[in-house]
Chains A and B, each alone.
Chain A
Amino acid sequence: MFISNSMTRKVITVKPDDSIFKAQELMAENKIRHLPVIESGNRLVGVVTDRDIRSALPYNFFKTAPSEEEKKNYSELKIKDIMTKDPITISPAYTIQDALLLIQDARVGALPVLNEDGTLTGIISVRDLLRAFINVLGIGQPGTLLCILVEEKVGQLKKIVDAITEENISFGSVLVARYWEKDKRAVFPYLLTLNVAHIKEKLTRMGFTLLNPMEWYLDQLPKNE
């Protein structure tokens, strides 16, 4: 779960002296919203976003295609004039969890990834994190979600995992969530199988309560007000 595994390595970049129209074209062509700005030696000096460009140009540039003459008036505008200098960056050795927290905290859409020597090695965007999260949940693979109510004491999860493993069923993921009743937790194993009837019976025989996941969800609603 390291940044180096989830980041985009083929980074599209611009130079500080490039025109902002170049950045605009690159973003449109590649369907991206963040461009690291680099100097010689792959050194990061800033980040320019689609929002920076929108703020720098008059509104009618986005409403109708501007004429060449209108464009000319802004052709002197360079990336270095509108970019964010000294952007927040992250190291490839950091984890996905770090990136999630940092992106939420900094309210940005992407982080340039820098090597120890300060050179740019990649970029990690909200889109990359979504892909990583889908992977963590295991929902790219066919499976079934169970919801098991357990008492909050040591060893409960082990019992569940052991019981499922004994049936030769693989896990996509296991999530644990709060339950409205004190001292209880809801466990959500995502099992990579269609054959869940037998394991449901077995868990019930072991004394666990199986909930329909919607019951858990509806019970959470008043608590979330």
Chain B
Amino acid sequence: MKKTGFLYDDRYQEHLTGNYHPEVPDRLPAVYKGIQEAGLLEHLTLIKAVPADIKWVETVHDPQYIKRFAKACNSGNPIFDSPDNQMCTATYQVALLAVGGVLEATRLVMEGELDNAFCAVRPPGHHAEVSQAMGFCYFNNVAIAARYIQQQWDIQRVGIVDFDVHHGNGTQHIFERDPTVFYYSIHQHPTFAYPGTGREFETGKDAGHGYTKNSPMLPGHGDKEYQQILQRDLVPAFAEFKPQVILVSSGFDAHIEDNMSDIKLTTEGFTWIIKLIVELAAEHAQGRLISVLEGGYSIRRLPELARNHIKILMDA
């Protein structure tokens, strides 16, 4: 069995999103419940959140944006940048805890104390742009972790896999000119789903050309199509790029019972996907993998999805 870290902190539930919002605090207890009831907790290394040092947040986000977010939050603004981003006065601090928790998990993996980790954080991050909150996201947790790795350790190539059903526009834009970070995303086709980016012809810019890859999936597609496309697109891309560490934007909203999309992955489909990513990490990155929660809104299915996910990481 591998040494797997599990980042979980009650304070992540203090970010409140108001009525009729799918990104609710209850998502995290649902994740916890699945892992606890399967008796996995005692085999995991529990990681607690620590607030991120702003200097790491600034490796991705504009300092003016960070200040603007802090100010909007502290003055009690219920939304930030878009009606999608509903928040409360705790949101800024919780967002810093999300980044800090992911960086702590990353540190433990990079220093060899853990083989890999799953970070059950809120708010999510992959839609957050350098200077704009979008799609329930404020700070781009995974992007900041990638920069942290590159600045703290001697790492030339970071691979990011994003299987949230929505394209991670923020992560793509942050690294689209950077040949040292490969961003791969599989998601519902942007003609039908938020945020309208992540088309096949978006392949990176300038020096980063060829280091972004998108696999848009049509509504109605599920396990079979995902398996075919991941084999066709992700496997050869990483065989060539050879990431030295893999960060995963793990969204569970492509599940057939999640009403945020029209993609029809089953619970087993998700298990297959994370298995493949773990194999890629073993092959190229000495197993180093940090998985970070993005979307996934089916409170009924999250327990089993999180349980299976972490079981694959543990090799249990």
Do A169 and B219 have beta carbons less than 8 Å apart? Answer: no
Q: Which residues of B contact A198 (CB under 8 A)?
A: 20-22
Do A193 and B262 have beta carbons less than 8 Å apart? Answer: no
Minimum C-beta distance from A193 to chain B (A):
5
Which of A6-14, A48-56, A141-149 interfaces with chain B? A141-149
B84 interface residue per 8 A CB criterion: yes
**Of the residues A139, A141, A168, A196, contact of B260 by C-beta under 8 Å:** A196
Do B192 and A142 have beta carbons less than 8 Å apart? Answer: no
B220 interface residue per 8 A CB criterion: yes
Q: Which residues of A contact B193 (CB under 8 A)?
A: 144-145
Do A168 and B83 have beta carbons less than 8 Å apart? Answer: yes
CA distance A48 to B82 in the complex (A): 47
Query: What mask results when residues 164 to 205 of chain A are scored 1 for a CB within 8 Å of chain B, else 0?
Result: 000111100000000000000000000001111110110000
**Of the residues A141, A168, A194, A213, contact of B262 by C-beta under 8 Å:** A213
Do B260 and A197 have beta carbons less than 8 Å apart? Answer: yes
Minimum C-beta distance from A12 to chain B (A):
27
Do A194 and B20 have beta carbons less than 8 Å apart? Answer: no
Do B84 and A194 have beta carbons less than 8 Å apart? Answer: yes
Q: Which residues of A contact B259 (CB under 8 A)?
A: 197, 200-201
Do B220 and A212 have beta carbons less than 8 Å apart? Answer: yes
B134 interface residue per 8 A CB criterion: yes
CA distance A139 to B190 in the complex (A): 9
Do A142 and B194 have beta carbons less than 8 Å apart? Answer: yes
Contact-residue size bin, chain A (C-beta under 8 Å from the other chain): 20 to 34
By CB atoms of chain A within 10 A, which of B135, B192, B196, B219 has the most?
B196
CA distance A143 to B45 in the complex (A): 39
Do B192 and A213 have beta carbons less than 8 Å apart? Answer: yes
Do B220 and A145 have beta carbons less than 8 Å apart? Answer: no
In the complex, the chain A residue whose C-beta lies closest to that of B262 is: A212
A214 interface residue per 8 A CB criterion: yes
Query: What mask results when residues 125 to 143 of chain A are scored 1 for a CB within 8 Å of chain B, else 0?
Result: 0000000000000011111
A215 interface residue per 8 A CB criterion: yes
Do A193 and B194 have beta carbons less than 8 Å apart? Answer: yes
Q: Which residues of A contact B169 (CB under 8 A)?
A: 142
Query: What mask results when residues 157 to 168 of chain B are scored 1 for a CB within 8 Å of chain A, else 0?
Result: 000000000100
B residues 276-308 in Cβ contact with A at 8 Å: 297
Q: Which residues of B contact A213 (CB under 8 A)?
A: 192, 219, 262
Q: Which residues of B contact A212 (CB under 8 A)?
A: 219-220, 262
Minimum C-beta distance from B245 to chain A (A):
29
Asked if A215 meets B21 with Cβ closer than 8 Å, knowing A194-B84, A194-B166, A196-B260, the reply is: no
Q: Which residues of A contact B84 (CB under 8 A)?
A: 193-195
Q: Which residues of A contact B196 (CB under 8 A)?
A: 139-143
Q: Which residues of A contact B191 (CB under 8 A)?
A: 139, 145
In the complex, the chain A residue whose C-beta lies closest to that of B195 is: A142
Other 5 A-B pairs with CB < 8 A, given A142-B134, A142-B194 = A139-B191, A145-B193, A168-B83, A195-B20, A195-B22
A sample of 22 cross-chain residue pairs with beta-carbon separation below 8 angstroms, ordered by A number, consists of: A139-B196, A142-B134, A142-B135, A142-B195, A142-B197, A143-B194, A144-B194, A167-B20, A169-B83, A193-B83, A194-B127, A194-B136, A194-B166, A195-B21, A195-B22, A195-B83, A195-B136, A196-B194, A200-B259, A212-B262, A214-B262, A215-B220
A interface, CB within 8 angstroms of B: 139-145, 167-170, 193-198, 200-201, 212-215
